[in-house]
Structure 1
Amino acid sequence: MASGQRFHVLDSLRGICALAVVLYHLHVVGSLTELAFFRSADLFVDFFFVLSGFVITHAYGARHDLDLRRFFILRTFRLAPLHVCLLGVFILFEFVKWGAAQQGVSFNKEPFTGMYAPSQILPNLLLIQAWTPLTENMSFNYPSWSISIEYYMYLVFAAVVLCTSARRVLVWAGIVIGAGALLYSGAGPFTALAYKGLACFFAGALCYKVFEILRRKGQLGFRVASLLEVLAGGLIVWTLSSDDPNKAVLASGLFCLTVTLYAFDAGVVSSLLKMRLFELLGRLSYSIYLTHVIILSVLILLFMVLEKKTGLTLAPVFGDFRYLDSGYVWLNNLIVALVLLAVVGISFVTYHLIEVNGQKLGRRLLGQRMPVQAVPG
């Protein structure tokens, strides 16, 4: 497989996992969002890290002449345009909340405080918010914490590729072990989020090397691959739905196995994941992941305003979370379906309007005209 070729099945998996994260952040009374599986779907962020490490290693891991300027520009204009635009939307939304508060509509938190404080704007612009305990790691568009980690992991990856050759696999393994040790010891200058991301990302890099070795030994047969794909998917569902206190570690291991297995694109599930709908979700996955929180925030604001106007309990608070509740289970599930459609629809717009144009701008800086799909995701 050439380094420029994409793993379309893995892209589809990324899109499905992004929708699962949407359902994790959405709370609707009595709906499918409250299933145990979706209450643990935040663990799919580890899947994103593993997959990113796998894909970037496919594209750059064997190179000895990495152009750092080109690499840096492509990575920056892949991640930053949408992140910065949405940061601006969140700042604007704080002004909206402030205006609504003047009309007597109260919120869980005061506008421009805590994770939305003005002091958190610069760390978000520099994508350092999730690395240091001195900043609010989940500030503003809180899913962007993983983008903060991923962006600088790319630079660590590039540094390893530039400074090593035959032994770079040992360096990746050392990073996985070291980050894992720091994560569970609670030591070191960075956050647990950073160590978690480093461990999963470079585990993904190692998975690609395992995939290369297995691929040279031959392709999996359709029946065997189908059985393994179904088994891997079932184990992920079972693990995330369980009460096992170690399920985060188990899930990360399963994600490594799943990415390696589905990269072969050899089974029945892989065939299904190549359907146009799943391929579309794969292309939109980054937009789905970053845009959904602002959509949910607007929806919650709307329900809170309606609650104030009608006197109905439409936006109750249970524990630390604001829920949505129409009063009918069937309608609540319909709301969930409509939210997913809205997220996909808006992501379609942001993908073409911001992501694609952002990548084009990066390529213009490089004087290149390669297709967007050629830029590893």
Structure 2
Amino acid sequence: MRVEKRFHSLDSFRGLMAISVMLYHLRVSGSFTEWLLFRHAEIFVSFFFVLSGFVLMHAYGSSAQFIFRKFFITRTFRLLPLHLFMLAIFILLECGRYMAAQKGMDFNNEPFSGKFAPSEILPNALLLQSWTHLTNPLSFNYPSWSISIEYYTYMIFALILGIAFGIRTWAWATMVLVALALMYAGNTFFTIESLRGLAYFFTGCLAYTVYVKLPRPNQTQTWLLTTLEVLALAAALVFVVNDFAAKQLLASPVFGVIVVIFAFDGGSVSRLLARRGFGFLGKLSYSIYLTHAAVLFCVVSAFMVARKIFGVDIAPMIDGTRYLDLGNVPLNNLIALLVVGLVVLVSMFTYRYVEMTGQSLGRALANNTAHSSPALRSDTEI
């Protein structure tokens, strides 16, 4: 199988789920942000982990000459530039909050306190915030908690790939089973974020080993793949919108199966997802995921300033959560759509000038040590 293969439907899933996570964090009264799917969309972060493990196995698992230095450089420059850029943006926003507070503006918490404390800056810069109980995984740019886990999980993946090539499948399975067992047992030694990331990422690795062993369907079997895709989406919807005790544990096999089904890109749903618009969102997914918290912060702050100026509570607190509410459902839906559009516009900028610049620099540094390989051109992980 060719390493250069792109999984178009999976790329599109990444974009759609990044939008869904953004809508999970956006609360607009009476709008589509309150649909049951989006109120449970936090589970889609687990899908990101599974998909990353799957794609990295595709990119590096069949490499006869795995070079850790190349892997380290390309993965670092894939994730770190945008992460550090957004961390800097949040520090600047916190400075703005501080100046506004000096002028009498009221916020939910004091500037540079709690999850925005200066002591959280260095752990965030080093992507360590989710690995220790001494730090707040949701500090500063809160979606980056998963990037913290993903980055070092990449390195664990590379270590196993480099020293346990012959037994790596057993190593992946052991990581998944141990992590899920600790989650089930209510472990308090490791952070729950690290266990989730390890379990789901290496589930993705196992999913890829299953995928490569399955026979390739021919064109006459499109109906079969379409049926499987529809059933997978229906099962995923039921799974996502329902809460039950074992949900975090079952996310591992459920999302693993879905990734394998859609990796074939052979059904009608896959063909729909392969269209340009969905692919565009997939390309922007990492930027959407990391920039949306800052955009939402700015939008909510603007509503709070307007509330103070006009004396109308258009940013009410409901059950401890800040909502946006213009008092009219159609207007609220319009506001939600405009925020989504704003996030996409910002993401287009950061993708072009931060992500792509970082990736180009990473490839240049990696290629100083040896000729580039097809695996180094993979840019599909978030």
TM-score (norm 1): 0.96
Residue 373 (structure 1) shift? 5.4
- Looking at structure 1, the residues matched to 282 and 203 of structure 2 have their Cα atoms a distance apart, in angstroms, of 22
Which amino acid in 2 is paired with 1:105? Answer: M
Residues 197/16 of structure 1: CA separation in 2 closer, same or farther (3 Å cut): same
Which amino acid in 2 is paired with 1:233? Answer: L
Which amino acid in 1 is paired with 2:172? Answer: W
Q: Is the 8 A contact 1:149 1:194 kept in 2?
A: yes
In the other structure, the counterpart of 1:180 is 180
Give structure 1 stretches of 5+ with no counterpart: none
Instruction: Establish whether residue 152 from structure 1 lines up as the match of residue 152 from structure 2.
Output: yes
Give structure 2 stretches of 5+ with no counterpart: none
Q: Is the 8 A contact 2:77 2:358 kept in 1?
A: yes
- Looking at structure 1, the residues matched to 380 and 38 of structure 2 have their Cα atoms a distance apart, in angstroms, of 28
In the other structure, the counterpart of 1:170 is 170
Q: Is the 8 A contact 2:28 2:332 kept in 1?
A: yes
- Looking at structure 2, the residues matched to 220 and 90 of structure 1 have their Cα atoms a distance apart, in angstroms, of 52
- Looking at structure 1, the residues matched to 91 and 309 of structure 2 have their Cα atoms a distance apart, in angstroms, of 26
Q: Is the 8 A contact 1:64 1:162 kept in 2?
A: no
Residue 184 (structure 1) shift? 2.1
Q: Is the 8 A contact 1:220 1:266 kept in 2?
A: no
- Looking at structure 2, the residues matched to 220 and 251 of structure 1 have their Cα atoms a distance apart, in angstroms, of 31
1:218-367 matches, cutoff 5 A: 221-367=221-367
Q: Deviations over 1:249-291 (max 9, x none)?
A: 3343321111000000010110001111011001000000000
* Alignment length (residue pairs): 377
Which amino acid in 1 is paired with 2:13? Answer: L
In the other structure, the counterpart of 1:100 is 100
- Looking at structure 1, the residues matched to 111 and 219 of structure 2 have their Cα atoms a distance apart, in angstroms, of 56
Residues 374/250 of structure 1: CA separation in 2 closer, same or farther (3 Å cut): closer
Q: Deviations over 1:163-190 (max 9, x none)?
A: 1122110010000011111222233632
Q: Secondary structure at the match of 1:80?
A: helix
Residue 6 (structure 1) shift? 2.0
Which piece of structure 1 moves more, 359-368 or 5-14?
359-368
Which amino acid in 2 is paired with 1:313? Answer: D
Q: Deviations over 1:282-315 (max 9, x none)?
A: 1000000000000000000000000111111101
Residue 349 (structure 1) shift? 0.8
Which piece of structure 1 moves more, 81-90 or 367-376?
367-376
Which amino acid in 2 is paired with 1:118? Answer: P
Residue 5 (structure 1) shift? 2.4
- Looking at structure 1, the residues matched to 234 and 216 of structure 2 have their Cα atoms a distance apart, in angstroms, of 27
Which amino acid in 2 is paired with 1:349? Answer: F
Residue 63 (structure 1) shift? 3.1
- Looking at structure 2, the residues matched to 106 and 355 of structure 1 have their Cα atoms a distance apart, in angstroms, of 35
Q: Is the 8 A contact 2:203 2:253 kept in 1?
A: no
Q: Is the 8 A contact 2:199 2:252 kept in 1?
A: no
Which amino acid in 1 is paired with 2:191? Answer: T
In the other structure, the counterpart of 2:7 is 7
- Looking at structure 2, the residues matched to 181 and 250 of structure 1 have their Cα atoms a distance apart, in angstroms, of 12
| CA RMSD, Structure 1 to Structure 2 (Å) | 1.7
Residue 9 (structure 1) shift? 1.4
Q: Secondary structure at the match of 2:284?
A: helix
Q: Secondary structure at the match of 1:134?
A: coil
Q: Deviations over 1:199-220 (max 9, x none)?
A: 0000000000110111358788
Q: Is the 8 A contact 2:180 2:249 kept in 1?
A: no
1:86-125 matches, cutoff 5 A: 86-125=86-125
Residue 370 (structure 1) shift? 7.9
Residues 369/309 of structure 1: CA separation in 2 closer, same or farther (3 Å cut): farther
- Looking at structure 1, the residues matched to 338 and 284 of structure 2 have their Cα atoms a distance apart, in angstroms, of 17
Q: Is the 8 A contact 1:150 1:197 kept in 2?
A: yes
Residues 346/131 of structure 1: CA separation in 2 closer, same or farther (3 Å cut): same
Residue 365 (structure 1) shift? 1.2
Q: Is the 8 A contact 2:59 2:378 kept in 1?
A: no
In the other structure, the counterpart of 2:198 is 198
Which piece of structure 1 moves more, 211-220 or 319-328?
211-220
Q: Secondary structure at the match of 1:27?
A: coil
Which piece of structure 1 moves more, 230-239 or 148-157?
230-239
- Looking at structure 2, the residues matched to 220 and 147 of structure 1 have their Cα atoms a distance apart, in angstroms, of 41
- Looking at structure 1, the residues matched to 327 and 377 of structure 2 have their Cα atoms a distance apart, in angstroms, of 44
In the other structure, the counterpart of 1:132 is 132
- Looking at structure 2, the residues matched to 214 and 336 of structure 1 have their Cα atoms a distance apart, in angstroms, of 42
Which amino acid in 2 is paired with 1:200? Answer: Y
